[in-house]
Amino acid sequence: MTGSTHNSDYRLLLGVLRDARQRQGVSQVELASRLGNTQTFVSKCERGERRIDFVEFVEFAEALGVPPETLLADYLGQRSNSGFKDRKAARRGKTRKGM
Question: What is the residue extent of each domain of the chain?
Answer: 28-85
Say how far apart CA 93 and CA 81 lie, in whole Å.
21
Give the N- to C-terminal CA distance of the chain in Å, as an integer: 17
Please tell me the predicted confidence (pLDDT) of residue 98.
52
Tally: H helices and E strands in the chain? 6, 0
Q: pTM of the full predicted structure?
A: 0.77
pLDDT digits (tens, 9 = 90+) for 60-93: 999 999 999 999 999 999 999 987 655 555 555 6
Please tell me the predicted confidence (pLDDT) of residue 40.
98
Say how far apart CA 43 and CA 68 lie, in whole Å.
20
Please tell me the predicted confidence (pLDDT) of residue 96.
53
What percent of the chain is predicted at pLDDT more than 70?
Answer: 78
Contact assessment for residue 46 and residue 17, using Cβ atoms and an 8 Å cutoff: yes
DSSP assigned state of 67: -
Contact assessment for residue 57 and residue 71, using Cβ atoms and an 8 Å cutoff: yes
Contact assessment for residue 12 and residue 75, using Cβ atoms and an 8 Å cutoff: yes
Of residues 45 and 91, more confidence is placed in 45
Q: Tell me: domain 28-85, CATH 3.40.50.10490, correct?
A: no
Please tell me the predicted confidence (pLDDT) of residue 82.
83
